[in-house]
Structure 1
Amino acid sequence: MAKPSGLHILRDTGPPEGSSTYTTVVLLHGFAWHSGIFSKLVPLATDHNARLVLVNRRDYPGATPYTPEERAVLEGALTSDPAIAREQLLAYAKECAREVYALLVQFVTDNDIPPAQPEANEGGIVLVGWSFGTNWMTSLLANVASFPVNDVELAKYVRRVVFHDPPYHTLGFPSPEDPYNPLQDTAIDPADRTRIFANWVSGYYAHGDTLDTLERRTPLTSPPPTLSTLTDADRAAALYPAPGDPGGSDALLLVGGIQSGLFAALFERAIALPTAQAEGDGEGKVTDGWADVEVRNVWCDRSVWEMPWSVWNLRARLESEKKAGKALRDVTLLRLNGANHFVHWDEPERALAAFLASKSEADP
């Protein structure tokens, strides 16, 4: 029997009335925000023939807190040799992936959702991980070939995995010269960094197309940072700083994942097609690694510098890997011009359309 998931479904819009071809969009949030930040997508579900499932990760409201033993892995990685820490965190990431997998299996078991019809761009599941939540997407893709198939063959349902505006470090890319992030700013009181980060990351930025024209610090005054437009009630329903505060689970994973090379290792495994079946876990049969599942990177060109820098590196890496003849997953890029990191709040119609758009609408 599959291990239960510790994740929490915050909201499920249910199937659109009368539809047998709807797409189920499962959304996982980022760093210090929970899935309440996707609430503006909810009223749009029916018009897009979609069912939206908003999921909170471990340590966020409604989900299972991490145990002392699980936290010890994150804490220990900060002081371990990087190679040892990477192996410890790879095992940790596999358990995170298993929890997403278990949630999807249970959801398919409990709900008569339409199977995927990739050619028609209908049905099935589109799985979205926003920002830091992209780590759960790469973890799943990196490990799914080793997860057993029992009564539910998820490969018949999951047709797209979306990296929603990921920062460069979640894909394991190196930082540029003169990087800036309030979370590492020693001039800011540690107790205030997560909240200042929330405002910084929600800004709109004017970038050029080269490294020296990436604006690191100062957002535009118009449009204003998304956080500044939220009411107190909006913030209370979506902002949850504790996991991102010093010693929080997301903060520990962020630092340990960068220091150990975890994120780079996950990304390499995630985009590579398995060359052979991995060993199972003692029950069921092994999947083929979702070889036909599309991986889509939706990126916003007015986001904070970490996101454009991420997609520039991603595009270069994909081109390099393909020239080297490596077998890769089907990775597409979709650019949202003028949008920022909170496009799902500021322009929810546009964000949902990007998750659901056909492959022909992605960047060439």
Structure 2
Amino acid sequence: MSEHSGLHIHHDSGAPQGSTDYTTLILLHGFAWHGAIFSKLPPLSERYNVRVVLVNRRDYPGAAPYPKKERALLDAAAAEVESEPAAARAKILSYMEYNARDLYDFLVDFVASNDIPKAGVKGPNSGGIVVGGWSFAGGWMLALLAYAHSFPVGEVDPGTYVRRVILYDAPFHVCGYPPLNGDISGSPLYDPSLTQEEKIRLGPDYASGYFKHPNFVDALERRTRRTSPPPSLSTMTAEEGASVLYAPPVDVDGSDCILNLACPPSGAWAVLREKALHVHDSESDAAPSRSWDAVELTYLWGDSTVWEIVWGVHCMKQTVQEAKTAGDKIRRVTFVRIKDANHFMHWDKPEDTVRACLAATSELEEVVIGSY
């Protein structure tokens, strides 16, 4: 987009015709599937008065590769995470601060280049920017909230435009939580009993399947998919499947693969979560901008998604409740659930997805979108 950011706009729906109070929805993709996975959302722009901007992260199509310095940090962290986790954590946090600055600069450039309506131009849920990170990119959202207040402010302060940051069906480990009962074997992606070939074969149907979870978290369904609907990825044509997938960053030496393996044991995700939740408005805080303290953090999830996300939602609710009980000063945190939605809700339920991203929220009660 500019010399200041290595991110790439895969698609921009543009402003809804004639609207002066539309909201700009900026979405970052997750692990392996790039911005094209959201391709069913831009056609809904006019109907929902939203400008949909699909962004590819570094190392994905159209975006810049990581600079050698940042990639070296990541590789060094991976090499020492077992022997020196604290040193690895510091390197990964520096790497994620770089990613946060990359996204921050993207937002600055986008606001400066587009005459977008300011937040609240015609009411609390109008105008401004909603930025979300799906799945693995939830880590980018936590990093943005953790570090944005410390970045220098020029003519554009993006914090005055951003209304909401969304953890969009983010798994527990990206939010810095341990697995349920210490067990990750339910996911083909991590099951130590499976070969790499088996993981590759089983992973897509697992990640895009539908699961029926009980109301108590200790018994979340880890393995057996519902027979209907079918996994989202299995319904795609060969051309559609090829158009949304980009494997190099998730290969064994790819940046996303290395970060995904090194970050949890280092403890860096948990640090980012705590930094993201707590506001920075003390009298002694010399941060360039405190506008980010007013930005809401929303955890958006589908109740038929994989257990890793349901467990993450449960853990985040506990964290927020404990912080409030302790009297900690945290940002506004809300939860939005889409009924009968899986991890690929933007493919199978695009209208519910847009409605959920833009929904009026409440701190007192989870907002529920859609119907069974």
TM-score range, shorter chain: over 0.9
For structure 1, which segment, 147-156 or 304-313, has the greater mean C-alpha deviation from structure 2 after superposition? 147-156
Equivalent residue letter for 1:179: I
Residue aligning to 1:185:
191
**Residues of 1 paired with 2:272 and 2:233: CA distance?**
31
Q: CA deviation at 1:336?
A: 1.3
Q: CA deviation at 1:211?
A: 3.4
Partners of 2:180 and 2:218 within 8 A in 1: no
Partners of 1:195 and 1:241 within 8 A in 2: no
**Residues of 1 paired with 2:197 and 2:318: CA distance?**
37
Instruction: Provide the secondary structure at the position in 2 that maps to 1:120.
Output: coil
Partners of 1:126 and 1:158 within 8 A in 2: yes
Alpha carbons of structure 1 residues 100 and 197: separation in structure 2 relative to 1, 3 Å: same
Any stretches of 5+ residues in structure 1 without a counterpart? 281-285
Residue aligning to 1:133:
137
Partners of 1:273 and 1:289 within 8 A in 2: no
**Residues of 2 paired with 1:194 and 1:64: CA distance?**
27
Q: Does residue 30 of structure 1 match 2:35?
A: no
Equivalent residue letter for 1:105: V
Residue aligning to 1:283:
none
**Residues of 1 paired with 2:294 and 2:14: CA distance?**
27
For structure 1, which segment, 210-219 or 96-105, has the greater mean C-alpha deviation from structure 2 after superposition? 210-219
- Aligned equivalent of 1:210, options 206, 216, 230: 216
Partners of 2:9 and 2:53 within 8 A in 1: yes
**Residues of 1 paired with 2:163 and 2:254: CA distance?**
33
Q: Deviations over 1:175-214 (max 9, x none)?
A: 1133232222344443563563232111100111223421
Residue aligning to 2:250:
244
Residue aligning to 2:97:
94
Q: Deviations over 1:113-171 (max 9, x none)?
A: 01000843000100011111110000000001111110101122111111111100011
Which residues in structure 2 correspond to 1:1-364 (within 5 Å)?
4-80=4-80, 81-117=84-120, 119-177=123-181, 178-180=183-185, 181-190=187-196, 193-194=199-200, 196-276=202-282, 286-288=288-290, 290-360=292-362, 363=366
Q: CA deviation at 1:338?
A: 1.1
Runs of 4+ in 1 over 3 A off after TM superposition: 186-189, 191-196, 275-280
Identity level (%): 46
How many residues matched? Answer: 358
Instruction: Provide the secondary structure at the position in 1 that maps to 2:6.
Output: coil
**Residues of 2 paired with 1:344 and 1:79: CA distance?**
36
Instruction: Provide the secondary structure at the position in 1 that maps to 2:79.
Output: coil
Any stretches of 5+ residues in structure 2 without a counterpart? 368-372
Partners of 1:131 and 1:166 within 8 A in 2: yes
**Residues of 2 paired with 1:114 and 1:69: CA distance?**
37
Q: CA deviation at 1:279?
A: 5.5
Equivalent residue letter for 2:270: A
Partners of 1:179 and 1:216 within 8 A in 2: no
Equivalent residue letter for 1:100: L
Instruction: Provide the secondary structure at the position in 1 that maps to 2:10.
Output: strand
Partners of 2:336 and 2:361 within 8 A in 1: no
Partners of 2:13 and 2:42 within 8 A in 1: yes
TM-score, length basis structure 2:
0.92
Residue aligning to 2:370:
none
Q: CA deviation at 1:360?
A: 4.4
**Residues of 1 paired with 2:251 and 2:204: CA distance?**
11
Instruction: Provide the secondary structure at the position in 1 that maps to 2:148.
Output: helix
